[in-house]
Structure formats: structure tokens, C-alpha cells
Homo-oligomer: A and B are copies of this chain.
């Protein structure tokens, strides 16, 4: 299906819905909406619409459906797979949710917050904190990503281990359908077994089935105890063994378990201002352990102490430091969050956002490392991530002194190698970033024909005119 190109007359009709001030047509104004942060994709668009109400979103989609014009919804434009970037040369219209940024309601007793899709994640976190509540979704771009994008990509981040990803944090949605009709599913219910799960279908659909305009999100009590430690380990297998011990001891109080290689620690210490290796001893692998408790500060201290005393004596942990203050806790997390930026000054980096069953991580890593080193001798593997979720950011920095462009030119080849091993372990080629444009064609290769066929049927059932973010997630059906 080919989308219609918007004529000047049609652009005027779209503009009339939001007003000229919120309909950008000057390419200089439009430019920031066309590129994503990694610079892998640059799209084109004749028009960016910034509606100020759900009713305006509805009118835009109604007109788009009637005329066959494609609409690309965009939140904070922080996505890593170009789901939010219009296609090149297709004259897609970008619909930015930025102006829909009102917190509609907060109910601390009911533990819910109701927000427009354009709210920035950090603003939701702050609003919750002001009511002594926690909204646990936490990720690198939290200062600029928007909750509608977090929902549309089923965002993960560093607190998934205890709180789940975005899907688990959402109770209800408001969605404008491609026809402009509004589905009001803004329920605040913990339990509701009344028919098919429309909510979870829109979550993670990357704006291809409709536009999320509002959401009911879960809040949690603020923890009273918080402990963060950094542990040095011999191997990935030992990290897995430590995760098993920590998870068994702490249960849901284990709020983070992040794996980092020696190389990553060196990169951050070398390139990130203020980051230092917190230990004098050197270790092949490191785990950042985060424990949060509701009842008291002491109970988190007790758990961390028990865990480390036991596992240092057993020899599983080679050495460990426990953060003694909030500043030190932040500093350890800052090192973890700097793993990706610290790779930039080291030259080209080929990235993978993959997951495997937690118990397969050591075998997967060993096999992937061998295959990568065989393909590119001297490649510097900096694989880190959310070990407790089985989610590894398997990043490969170029060999020292290699040509960056030539190295980056092997992106697809390295993807094929790493993803091949991921699939052997029945893993996922996109653990938390989604499919977008970047992994669209690969998805069709790695999933069974019947799975892709079911997705195409859903797409067609919800968006028969094919106007919602076409060419993302799935190839446009003919």
C-alpha cells in the first residue's frame, strides 16, 4: 500500500486543525524531528504537527485516514531504532506529542498517576516523589524521553528486575485510532478480565496501531532503605551465581543487578569526568548490586552485609565496596550509565540490544565472544547490561587504530553473527529498544512466518488504510 502525498491544499487543512504556530513547514524548524540521536537514520517530512489536545490528534488522524496520508507519531525523539523518524522521500507527516504534557491526576492512596502521553519521564518521576511515591521506570534519557514513547516501545531500563518494564507499569490507556475514533481505556484497575487485552497490544506497537495520548501509570511506596555495592568477579558464570544468591536472599528487594566488564570500567575511568575505578584490585567482571527496602534503612544494610560477607568468604566475590552515602550510590550508578557514552571516544561501536534466558548468559557470551574475535581480531568487546533480565547490551568497540568507517561498515555482518547466536539460545534481537526501521527486515527473518502473519493481520485489522507509522515494525503489506 502506498500512502498519498499531501498536497499544498491538504497541508493547509492539517495546519488549520492545530493553527499555524503549531504546524511547522520551514525545513529549519522541521530538521530536529527528522534525525535520531545515533545519526543512523535521517527522514524527510513536509510538515510537523504539534497538536495541543486529544481532540486535535483525533481530527488529524481522521483527515489522514480520509486522504491516505501517513502519520508518524513522535515523543521525545530518543528512540534507538528509528521508529519515530519519518521515512525518506515518502512525505510522511510527523505528529509530535510534545504539547500534550499535562499530568491529569495523581492518587497516592490508589497508587496511580494519570498523564498525557507527552509528559517527560522525569516529570512523572518528580510528581510521584512529591507525593512520597515512586514511579520506577528509569533510563538514560529520562530527562527528555516522553511517556507515550516509553509506552509505545515498552521501555525497560534499570529497574525492570523488581518493577517490570513499561507494560507492567501501566494500568490503562487512551488511544486515538487511525480513523480518529478515541478508545478510552483509562482504567485504574489492578484486575480487569473483560475481553481481549487491547492495552498490551498498543503498548510496544511503536505507534503503528494508533496514537497513545494518555495513560494510567502505577506508583509504588518510596523505599526507606537503599544500598548499592560494586563487586569484583572472576567470570560471567560467577556473576550469574552471585545473581542467583542475591535474588534468593533479597527477593523483590533486589532492585538492580548490572553486569560490567573490566574494559567498560577502564573506558569510563578514562573518558568520563569524575568516574574512577572504585576498587584498587582489578577484576575481569563487575556486578552493580542495588537493594531497596520498604520497611527501614537497616533492613537494606542487613541484606547487603549478609550477601557480601557470605559470598566474599565463599570466594565467589573477589572484592567488594559498598557505597556509604547517597553521593557514592549515585557515583556507582553513574559509572554503569556511562558504559555506552564511554565507548564513543574509543572509536566506532557496533551495538546489540539482545536478551537470552538468564541461565544461558555465560554460554551465550562465551560463544559470541569467540565468533566476534574470529571475525574481527582485536575487536574490543564491551558487553554489559541488565543481567537479572537476561538483557545484554552486546557492544563491540573497534580494534585500536582501525578505520572507524570501515569498522562501522561491518555492522550488519556483526549483527548476523551475534543475532545468530542469540537465536540459538531462543533469545531476542531486541530486548528493550524495539524494532522500528533498524530491525524491521531482520524481524521478518528471525520470527516464524505464522508469527509475522498474525502481526500483519492485527495491523490490517486496526489500520486498514495503512496510515499509522507505515514501514515500522512490519513491512507495509501489498
Contact = CB atoms under 8 A, between A and B. Distances in A.
Contacts of A35: none
B156 A473 contact: no
A65 interface: no
B110 A177 contact: no
A429 interface: yes
Contacts of A204: 193, 195-197
A137 B365 CA distance: 33
Nearest to A294: B251
Interface stretch (A267-275, A299-307, A342-350): A299-307
Contacts of A431: 189, 191-193
Query: Which of A160, A168, A203, A252 neighbours the largest number of chain B CB atoms within 10 Å of its CB?
Result: A252
Contacts of A74: none
Interface stretch (A9-17, A321-329, A447-455): A447-455
A340 interface: no
B168 A164 contact: yes
Nearest to A197: B200
Nearest to A431: B191
A178 to B, nearest CB: 11
Nearest to A222: B248
B194 A165 contact: no
Contacts of A181: 450
A221 interface: yes
Contact of A244 (B109, B182, B244, B427): B109
A190 interface: yes
Given A110-B360, A251-B295, 17 more contacts: A162-B252, A183-B448, A186-B426, A188-B426, A189-B426, A192-B430, A193-B428, A193-B432, A193-B434, A196-B204, A196-B473, A197-B197, A198-B455, A220-B251, A251-B293, A454-B462, A457-B461
Given A183-B451, A196-B205, A295-B302, A191 B358 contact: no
A156 B191 contact: yes
Contacts of A359: 107, 109-110
A341 to B, nearest CB: 22
A201 interface: yes
A302 B197 CA distance: 40
Nearest to A240: B109
A12 to B, nearest CB: 29
A371 interface: no
Contacts of A186: 426
Interface residues of A, number: 96
A299 B359 CA distance: 29
Interface string A403-439: 0000000000000000000000011111111110001
A112 interface: yes
Interface in A237-258: 240, 244, 247-253
A399 interface: no
A44 interface: no
A52 interface: no
A420 to B, nearest CB: 16
A111 interface: yes
A252 to B, nearest CB: 4
B461 A458 contact: yes
A182 B432 CA distance: 26
A160 B190 contact: yes
B189 A427 contact: yes
A248 B283 CA distance: 39
Given A200-B200, A295-B251, A190 B435 contact: no
3 tightest Cβ-Cβ pairs between the two chains A and B: A251-B294, A110-B359, A252-B252
A355 B190 contact: yes
A173 to B, nearest CB: 11
A436 B13 CA distance: 46
A450 B189 contact: no
A71 to B, nearest CB: 19
Nearest to A132: B248
A299 B225 CA distance: 14
A279 B251 CA distance: 33
Nearest to A109: B359
A250 B294 CA distance: 5
Nearest to A198: B454
B189 A443 contact: no
Contacts of A360: 110
B428 A189 contact: yes
